[in-house]
Structure 1
Amino acid sequence: MAKLYFRYGAMNSGKSIEVLRTAHNYEEQGKSVMVFTPAIDNRYGKGQVTSRIGIQKPATVLAEGTDIFGLVQQQAPDCILVDEAQFLNKKQVEALCEVVDELGIPVIAYGLRADFRGQLFEGSYHFLALADQIEEVKTVCWHCRRKATMNMRLNNGIPVFEGAQIMIGGNESYLPVCRQCYSKARKQTALVQRGSAAADSETEH
């Protein structure tokens, strides 16, 4: 029986590589796959799933008005793969549920669970709520080598904890870290900001 799978992991956990590997395994068996990627992810050009080691595969771009169910019904693949699934909206996630339930085609979605503030993305929220099976793609913290569960955003190498939820970037902008290292960096940043605010106040007086 077909299922909706949500496989989540922190940045740099190899999710895109898993998309490409799974697609290759299906195609090696003579089966067809449809690969979707959100329009917002344009790091390597739209319509491409690209791993950090340079492997690429063309993908169907998911825009706001894309008729997911209609496209899948027309092509009738053996499996659907979704990269950067955290960027999907509620309607798109529900359309993938319909693909599973009405067309009997498995859907495997890969994405981040939460943003750099520790808050769920819209797509991740609905995948966590609706998926038949949820799996973690694991990686290690870049600071202490514990399991990474958080995504730390960087600005010129400095951790930041405020800003817009979506900012497309790679290792220059994000690091996978454990909760302990994330909390430590956030506290240090808060201390620095308080110190700067106090220094500015003294200068004004």
Structure 2
Amino acid sequence: MKPFTKYEGTIVPIMNDNIDTDQLIPKQYLKSIERTGFGQYVFDEWRYNEDRTDNMDFNLNKPEYKTGTILITGDNFGCGSSREHAAWALQDYGFQVIVAGGYSGIFYMNWLNNGHLPITLPEADRIELSKLPGDAKVTVDLENNKLITNGKEYIFELEESWKQRLLKGLDSIGLTLEHEDEIRKYEENHK
């Protein structure tokens, strides 16, 4: 994983509550265990019409949001089944940060384990952010727990252990390897 310290991107507002993993990526596209290739199916049933043409009423298809990498959304994001493919699809599409009112526990962990930041903000802040123009730059400063845009700062919390893992770019294996010397000493003392 790459370290996540600061990130600058633009937003895509999809302000629905209870977006579940079936809406993030429908089950018929879950035929691979590779982490790539799923971005084309993210929000598939909302993004495309029945004839597979773009649904131009959906924000991902609007020109002003085509390059957005920070998803602003509702409460209980990622609920439903426990498919890690949902995190992979969002990642493959290009999302790096999700700002929601809350998350399903499994999705939250999947998003973190894939090196991305789930931010939780109150509804009023999310509504304010959702009204930004599509080209407005948003900076996420993980070291200082701030999301910054147009001179306004939004403060968020993240459990310190996860914050440190993201800042250092450590997945579970990398975290274990940080303690390699202690593990080796323990093993030598307990043969």
TM-score normalised by L of structure 1: 0.30
- What's the TM-score, normalizing by structure 2? 0.31
Higher strand share: 1
Q: Which has the larger radius of gyration?
A: 1
